[in-house]
Structure 1
Amino acid sequence: MTGQLSFPRQQARTQRFSLGAPRAFTVSPDGARVAFLRSRSGTDRAGVLWVLDLDDGRERPAADPALLLGGADEELSAEERARRERSREGSAGIVGYAVDSAVEWAAFALSGRLFVAELRGGTARELVVPGPVVDPRPSPDGRRVAYVTRGALRVVEADGGGDRALAEPEGATVTWGLAEFAAAEEMGRSRGFWWAPDGESLLVARADEAPVSSWWIADPAHPDRAPAQVRYPAAGTANAEVSLALLGLDGSRKDVEWDRERYPYLARVHWSAAGPPLLLAQSRDQRSQVYLTVDTATGGTRVLRVEEDAKWLDLFPGAPVWNPDGRLVRIADEGDARVLMVDDRASTGPRLHVRAVLDAGAEDVLVSASAGPEAADPETGETHVYRVGERGVERLSEGPGWHSAVRCGTVTVLVSTSPERSGALVRVLRDGVRAATIPSYAQEPVLTARARLTEAGARRIPCAVLLPTGYREGDGPLPVLMDPYGGPHGPRVVAAQNAHLTSQWFADQGFAVVVADGRGTPHRSPGWEKAVRDDFAGVTLDDQVEAVRALAEDFPLDLGRVAIRGWSYGGYLAALAVLRRPDVFHAGIAGAPVTDWRLYDTHYTERYLGHPERQPAVYARNSLVTDEGLSGAAAEHRPLMVIHGLADDNVVAAHTLRLSSALLADGRPHEVLPLSGVTHMTPQEQVAENVLLLQVDFLKRSLGLS
């Protein structure tokens, strides 16, 4: 290829322009250093561990995978591949690291080997231990490193001596120190062990997957290869049995006791010098959860508080935690407001919708939040950083955008995206004054997204509208492409340039592209999110219809030619749209769609639809493949393309195969595009590019635009 890359190829090659962008920041308590990851260019997949010295403003690489591996190719264990798939990590090299409490040492796994790096200016070196190594973490004092290999939790001295196992699996289905599937995929808990503040013991999760059903994922393109076995906790079936033990470096063990029958989900673990170990455990239906403290002398637990909700209780990044004076910091729903709670006092009100706790300091709590239900200005698509303390609430981030932060002591790393520029601006503030800017090596996209953020309809549905570059008012109405995710956890209407690049590319092919975040999507209010309880199909589809019809009053939308595309939940929504509302949607592209919710995992699915044995009618009504689910389909047929990676272990290919069989039995024409060897992420460059090109071809054919 010569000349400028096409946008699809550039986006694929740069992994959606994430390569070369700094991320994973850690600030030292003395305010002297900021550690972070960044690859060396916008097309280099290998992450390098960097350190920014705030006194002299210089950056230096603390650990470079090219040097540490001597140019050898990286080798990943099955456990590491699974961990990266759960976290949607598509890059290579150093993709994660952990530090001691002083941020003087970092530990990381590279090609299944254990490395440590001295962050004050030393070098990185390997600790020779049994492998393959997963999730190494230094003790708070930096004297030791704990890590997982082959399901065992081991500890090694920082000088490489004294390696020993603290816990070993009792059978092939048992692991110590790893997050089970439901925790890693749905709860946001990617860890399975936590050091004591004094570095003399660890809390360690034990997971036994024996009760979990075995599924088999084959690669039909290679019939000579055996299928891969995965343990998948589908809705209504058994989860892994998860327990917790306090393991001392002296060989002692105390099992942590709580009512695991009532609260089987170990959702959060926090252990700091500010208080005893803090646990958050949920009931299976997620309508009840309990905050517990652990007595490290006995392993017993004490109930701090119990929360209940008629629909479900959400989990939040960074919470619960202790603040330095031992008060409990958490996020809770109060009426239709999501607020920050410090002990029993609400520190914010309905003007803010709190999303995450970023840091709990002695004098204030740093949070990210969007506009709440009583905000004077909706600030569509924006999220800001706020400092919440005795003196009230102060916003730290400025200007329209999507902002987040990492803070320790007097140093804050503020990460800001904007609708006006690509990528993120990373500023380091010391005592509120800019001390440095961390540059990004990410590529500049070959196009510019021009998203108009607005609200639509009586429900004020957040929307982004993108028209072709150079479109003029007199050019007439355009065929419409709805481009939603539309479901829980996935906001798409965000004030960030890169978030809308793919939509802009589709717009430049001759479409008016509409992205609508209807009910069920996050960051507006608890009532908005929980409106989908028992009714994915009705609520989320109704809001897409309302959005496109309302926007047609102000934008050049040809409602006689409306298509919809989406991936994962968005794929489900796209297929649902053309089957049940062909009067509105004239073609659809469903990527990796969930088509039968009984085939999706427990923690996610049962939160919204309940247990399938107790609510079979709910599952049937929200399905695309059951008789009742298809009975809602209109008689009119619309073109549908279904795309699925055959190696997907999150939304398995059975979803698409069952949909295709049901459509065929019902006499409904459709196209299926199977992607051999592709997971839920579709990271392969040529695949990612050509999938976009094929979608455009399908849309033009289906809408009569060719």
Structure 2
Amino acid sequence: MTPSTSPTSPESPAADAAAETFPRQYARTLRYTVGAPRSFAVAPDGSRVAFLRSRSGTDRANLLWTLDTATGEERIAADPAVLLGGGEEELSAAERARRERSREGSAGIVGFALDGAGARAAFALSGRLFTADLVAHAARELPAEGPVVDPRPAPDGSHVAYVNAAGELRVSRTDGSGDRALATPEHDGVTWGQAEFIAQEEMDRDRGYWWAPDGTGLIAARADDTPVRRWWIADPANPQTAPAEVGYPAAGTPNAEVGLWLLGLDGSRTELRWDTAAFPYLARVHWSAGGPPLLLVQARDQRSQQILTVDPATGATALLLEERDPVWHDLFPGVPAWTPDGQLVRITDQDGVRALVIGDRVVTEPSLHLRSVVAVTDREVFFTASGGAAEKDPLPGWIAVGRITHDGQRLGWVSASDQPFDHVTSAVHAGGVTVRSTTEPGRPGALVHVGRDVPEHGTVRHIATIASYAETPLITARPVFRFAGERRIPCAVFLPTGYDAERDGPLPVLMDPYGGPHGQRVVLSHNPHLTSQWFADQGFAVIVADGRGTPGRSPAWEKAIAFDFAGATLDDQVDALRALAEEFPLDLGRVGIRGWSYGGYLAALAVLRRPDVFHAAVSGAPVTDWRLYDTHYTERYLGHPDERPEVYDANSLIGDAARLERPLMIVHGLADDNVVAAHTLRLSSALLAAGRPHTVLPLSGVTHMTPQEQVAENLLLLQVDFLKRSLEG
């Protein structure tokens, strides 16, 4: 197919409408993400926006598109069906692992990178290397030693670097000539230019190389995971298949050894040196024209971190700033960074507030809780923030884009009304153009707004809306937002559609939390609440409560769980339940709880330790013994297991097995390499040894994401059946 202007969204296939149900639609559309635009990038001159989107709400294969900001016209820049000649995608093991780490369930083009002018994109497709001219809207394949992972063009557009499945970092000219290796692994276990497991899973660092601003070379990570202990993940349903070997850095065990090198296109090679023994975690790398390369490195306990500058000529690093925190340091997207005139931009916890710092000045007010830096321009910093002073917030769960000058002059919110109370799920800015994806509780899906700065008025003028082809959900979520109890716990409450209190009476309750770090569930959105509403429509009052430990409130709120997962997170679920019972028709004699991952841990914890409150639980992919979870996450919150064994014992579920007196269903994917199935098997063995009946549902071939349609659909149905039966009495 030749490039063309975008068509009107096609109708969904004429499937049997009578057979369509919410669980089936929810699974088939990957939670209504199929067909929605995503992964936005703006050209530095603001002339175009590049993004990914499939052709419909039923087609998982993403195409690369552009939007002309002058005309609003959308055009296809790269179509996987054309580029692959209609053939099927083939993914390497490295690419499958990368997608699992990023929770990527779609197909086609799942990521891309632009050159410095925003005129050329590079991407991998079926392990092959492609570039797309975003001006001519033409894509072509380049010769490459694949399978290719994470290609990125040089800022000047002359070359494309990429990593392959053999662990090499390679570079090719964009005319297709001169493909060569810049770095090749010296032995098995070494990779060049790739982020190691722990960086991808826990540090939000999914890349392993960074181009020099002038395109003459790049900084590349060398990761050696041979010190990492080996685990084997088998597929018991297919005993003829050999177990997969994975390097998993469990708490208290060795991590991969990570170093950095400056690799010149002229063949030069310089090692970048810092105290890797004291600061082994490479968390961030920033290289822009505003100053020398910046490194953010962390101590293993994450209570101290350093921002270092690099001398590219010698590889020597110099300390720019060292930060210490008695609990831990969090990592934030977009920082550290330079302003074009050489001021350091960072986010830090200071005086009980999470603040934006430019140079040596805190520039944001204490009422804001900073989330990320979106962009740094010649004059301004664009950031995302939520309400830091919870007692002043009229609603929980909003995130907005703000802008501030380098000298601290607030320029307001980037929104139509200059009010923050929509919810921004993603934002990018360049060339005076901002792209925001926003949601509202009363509107399915997200709206993607494209706006242009109006400098003379300090405002943003709406110029386009990027179309979404995502399906409309079969049900409507009706969250009621509250701050519950004395701690003002953010909550969303869901009642059955058409519920009448006088007619129907008190409802059995289903707590539906995540409840842990990095997992904010109470947000001003519609689609994230659909599953909770569906459970409510099955006859429950459903409560989602973001207690202490969840993000978005304050450093103290997030760090209240230090060395004690089991205490604060469970207490806040109980407190939210009891506080909301004063307003809503909740039958506190019939309370169930469900959750996945940390939410699965919390659900099992609830029936084990508070059977007086919780009467049944569905625990999905739970961490049952924190010694089996990874280093960077677990040690941040619970410390090193050799130094604090009592903390790990106190937060484990295994020792509580004999206390079970309520129905418990445990669900786990046997191919899960994040929370491995050993967690569930160890808890089940302890329950069996204690003579405690329980239900285990093993999912063959399923990872932590549960992307399979039939699995995702039937899991919802089985949970409802289990909870109804368990709470009947």
CA deviations 1:53-95 (Å, max 9, x no partner) are 1222211110010110011110000000000000000000000
Matching of residue 454 in structure 1 with residue 482 in structure 2: yes
State the distance in 1 between where 2:32 and 2:336 align. Answer: 33
Matching of residue 414 in structure 1 with residue 442 in structure 2: no
State the distance in 1 between where 2:394 and 2:702 align. Answer: 39
Q: How big is the shift at 1:243? A: 0.2
CA contact (8 A) 2:398 2:420 kept: no
Q: How big is the shift at 1:374? A: 6.5
1:203 to 196, 219, 225: 219
CA deviations 1:562-604 (Å, max 9, x no partner) are 0000000000000000000000000000000000000000000
CA deviations 1:463-512 (Å, max 9, x no partner) are 00000000123121100000000000000000100010000000000000
1:163 to 179, 182, 186: 179
Greater mean alpha carbon deviation, residues 524-533 or residues 658-667: 658-667
Secondary structure of the structure 2 residue equivalent to 1:272: coil
Aligned partner of 1:132 in structure 2 is 147
State the distance in 2 between where 1:607 and 1:90 align. Answer: 28
Aligned partner of 2:351 in structure 1 is 335
Matching of residue 50 in structure 1 with residue 65 in structure 2: yes
1:384 to 395, 400, 403: 400
Matching of residue 396 in structure 1 with residue 396 in structure 2: no
CA contact (8 A) 1:422 1:497 kept: yes
CA contact (8 A) 2:494 2:541 kept: yes
Q: Which runs of 5+ in 2 are unaligned?
A: 1-14, 454-459
Secondary structure of the structure 2 residue equivalent to 1:276: coil
Aligned partner of 1:225 in structure 2 is 241
1:17 to 32, 38, 43: 32
State the distance in 2 between where 1:76 and 1:97 align. Answer: 16
Aligned partner of 2:557 in structure 1 is 528
State the distance in 2 between where 1:697 and 1:377 align. Answer: 38
1:672 to 692, 696, 706: 696
State the distance in 2 between where 1:400 and 1:696 align. Answer: 33
TM-score between both structures, scaled by the size of structure 1: 0.98
1:182 to 194, 198, 201: 198
Matching of residue 215 in structure 1 with residue 231 in structure 2: yes
Matching of residue 579 in structure 1 with residue 608 in structure 2: yes
Matching of residue 277 in structure 1 with residue 306 in structure 2: no
Aligned partner of 1:62 in structure 2 is 77
Aligned partner of 1:563 in structure 2 is 592
1:499 to 523, 528, 551: 528
Q: How big is the shift at 1:375? A: 6.4
Residue type at the aligned position of 1:675? L
Q: How big is the shift at 1:343? A: 1.4
State the distance in 2 between where 1:374 and 1:19 align. Answer: 34
Greater mean alpha carbon deviation, residues 609-618 or residues 465-474: 465-474
CA contact (8 A) 1:336 1:373 kept: no
CA contact (8 A) 1:330 1:340 kept: yes
Please, what is the CA RMSD of the aligned residues?
1.1
Q: How big is the shift at 1:337? A: 0.7
Q: Give the paired residue count.
A: 700
CA deviations 1:193-237 (Å, max 9, x no partner) are 000011011000000001000000000000000000000000000
CA contact (8 A) 1:520 1:529 kept: yes
Secondary structure of the structure 2 residue equivalent to 1:44: coil
Q: How big is the shift at 1:527? A: 0.2
Secondary structure of the structure 2 residue equivalent to 1:524: coil
Aligned partner of 1:32 in structure 2 is 47
Aligned partner of 2:121 in structure 1 is 106
CA contact (8 A) 1:263 1:281 kept: yes
CA contact (8 A) 2:258 2:280 kept: yes
State the distance in 1 between where 2:310 and 2:145 align. Answer: 32
Greater mean alpha carbon deviation, residues 502-511 or residues 384-393: 384-393
Q: How big is the shift at 1:388? A: 1.7
Residue type at the aligned position of 1:685? E
1:41 to 52, 56, 66: 56
Secondary structure of the structure 1 residue equivalent to 2:315: coil
State the distance in 2 between where 1:375 and 1:362 align. Answer: 35
State the distance in 2 between where 1:600 and 1:501 align. Answer: 30
CA contact (8 A) 1:337 1:373 kept: no
Q: Which runs of 5+ in 1 are unaligned?
A: none
Greater mean alpha carbon deviation, residues 51-60 or residues 571-580: 51-60
- Sort the Cα spacing of 1:374 and 1:346 in 2 relative to 1 into closer, same or farther, 3 A: farther
Q: How big is the shift at 1:652? A: 0.3
Secondary structure of the structure 2 residue equivalent to 1:453: strand
1:683 to 694, 703, 707: 707
Secondary structure of the structure 2 residue equivalent to 1:235: coil
CA contact (8 A) 2:395 2:482 kept: no
State the distance in 1 between where 2:578 and 2:91 align. Answer: 49
Q: How big is the shift at 1:33? A: 0.5
Q: How big is the shift at 1:401? A: 2.6
State the distance in 2 between where 1:362 and 1:624 align. Answer: 52
Taking the TM superposition and a 5 Å limit, the aligned residue runs for 1:570-649 are: 570-625=599-654, 627=655, 629-630=656-657, 634=659, 637-649=661-673
Q: How big is the shift at 1:393? A: 4.9
Taking the TM superposition and a 5 Å limit, the aligned residue runs for 1:651-662 are: 651-662=675-686
1:3 to 4, 12, 17: 17
Q: How big is the shift at 1:400? A: 3.2
Residue type at the aligned position of 1:457? G
Residue type at the aligned position of 2:155? P
State the distance in 2 between where 1:567 and 1:158 align. Answer: 44
State the distance in 2 between where 1:440 and 1:472 align. Answer: 35
Aligned partner of 2:267 in structure 1 is 251
CA contact (8 A) 1:381 1:401 kept: no
Residue type at the aligned position of 1:470? G
Structure 1 segments of 4+ aligned residues over 6 angstroms from their partners: none
Residue type at the aligned position of 2:606? A
CA deviations 1:110-133 (Å, max 9, x no partner) are 000000000012310000111100
Aligned partner of 1:373 in structure 2 is 389
Aligned partner of 2:510 in structure 1 is 481
Greater mean alpha carbon deviation, residues 472-481 or residues 152-161: 472-481
Greater mean alpha carbon deviation, residues 535-544 or residues 471-480: 471-480
Secondary structure of the structure 2 residue equivalent to 1:617: helix
Q: How big is the shift at 1:667? A: 1.4
CA deviations 1:624-655 (Å, max 9, x no partner) are 11x3x55xx64x60000000000000000000
Secondary structure of the structure 2 residue equivalent to 1:505: helix
CA contact (8 A) 1:401 1:494 kept: no
Secondary structure of the structure 1 residue equivalent to 2:17: coil
State the distance in 2 between where 1:118 and 1:261 align. Answer: 44
- Sort the Cα spacing of 1:671 and 1:319 in 2 relative to 1 into closer, same or farther, 3 A: same
CA contact (8 A) 1:507 1:513 kept: yes
State the distance in 1 between where 2:93 and 2:119 align. Answer: 30
Q: Percent identity?
A: 68
2:543 to 501, 507, 514: 514
CA contact (8 A) 2:189 2:226 kept: yes
